[in-house]
Structures are given as C-alpha cells and as structure tokens.
Amino acid sequence: MEQTYIMIKPDGVQRNLIGEIVSKIEKKGYKIAAMKMIRISRETAEIHYGEHKGKPFFGGLVDFITSGPVVAMVVEGDDAVAGMRKMMGATNPLNAEFGTIRGDYGISVGRNIIHGSDSIESAKREIGIFFKNEEICSYERSLDSWIYEN
C-alpha cells in the first residue's frame, strides 16, 4: 500500500474541521496508519518547506504553519498520493471543485485547510520529518476486501 503525508493546518484545527476531514478520508476507504496533533517548531517548518526557501512567501508559510497546532497523518491506500491530492482539491480553494476538502471549506490560498504530499518521494521525506517508524501502525482491516480487489 502506498503511503502519503497529510496535515490538517492550523486554520483547519481552529475551525474545528478535524473530524470532518478524518471522516472524509476514512469514508473514501483510506487507512490512517498514524495520526497526532503537534505544534511544529520553526526549525521543523523550515525543513518541511525547504524547497521554498528564498522565495518571497517562505516566511509567511513558516509563520502560518507554526501559528497553532496541526494534525499530522500517514494515510495509506492504493494510489494514496494522487487520490488524496484529488480529495484535497486545487491549492487555491477558489479553483477547487465542490466536494473536495478545499472546495468545501477553504476560501483563500493562504488558509487552505490541508497539506498533502505531491509525490511518493515527497511523502517519504515528509513522513520522515514528522513520524518515527515505530509511530506508524501496520494493521489489517476486515473491510479492505470490500474496498480493494485481490
């Protein structure tokens, strides 16, 4: 099963959307292999957003993601990276389809509720930033046979 990193950002936490978002992920059929609420340090935020260092919006990203708690998750499933990206919707909520997380709950690009890895490589890197191997649970669900073909 493919794994991806998903983070409910401070605006999603403050707006009481944790349950709604987790419910959408689970109802879709994805499995949550790890989940925790954390307060990201500036140092960790700068590592996480490292590819944007030097860009004019870098400081704002770091300030925002460290402004309050986030919910960090490892989500598993077939094509989890692409599937979760589709579920999240376009980065700019104004361009996100209704029915997506950002389309339903977001209004501005700077407060777009959720982050998800954009590739398998990014997922591995981001999971490694926020989770130790022993924090990720491997388990079987009896309902998986109803979600996935053999």
Determine the Cα–Cα distance for residues 25 and 104; give it in Å rounded to an integer.
14
Q: Is residue 75's pLDDT more than 80?
A: yes
* 17 and 26 Cβ atoms separated by less than 8 Å: no
**Cα-trace Rg, the chain:** 15
Residue 64's closest CA among 99, 40, 100? 40
- Structure confidence by residue, pLDDT tens digits, 134-147: 999 999 998 998 99
> What are the distances in angstroms from CA 97 to CA 35, 80, 101, 102, 116?
26, 19, 9, 8, 17
Residues whose CB falls within 8 Å of the CB of residue 63, separated by 6 or more in sequence, listed in order? none
Residue from 4, 5, 115, 127 carrying the catalytic annotation: 115
Tokens of 116: 């998800």
pTM of the model: 0.95
* Structure confidence by residue, pLDDT tens digits, 1-43: 999 999 999 999 999 999 999 999 999 999 999 999 999 999 9
d(CA 111, CA 21) in angstroms, rounded, equals 15
CATH number of 2-147: 3.30.70.141
Name which of 56, 43, 68, 64 is nearest 108 in CA terms.
64
Answer yes or no: 115 catalytic: yes
pLDDT tens digit sequence for 90-122 = 999 999 999 999 999 999 999 999 999 999 999
Question: What are the extents of the domains in the chain?
Answer: 2-147
**Would you say residue 150 has pLDDT above 80?**
no
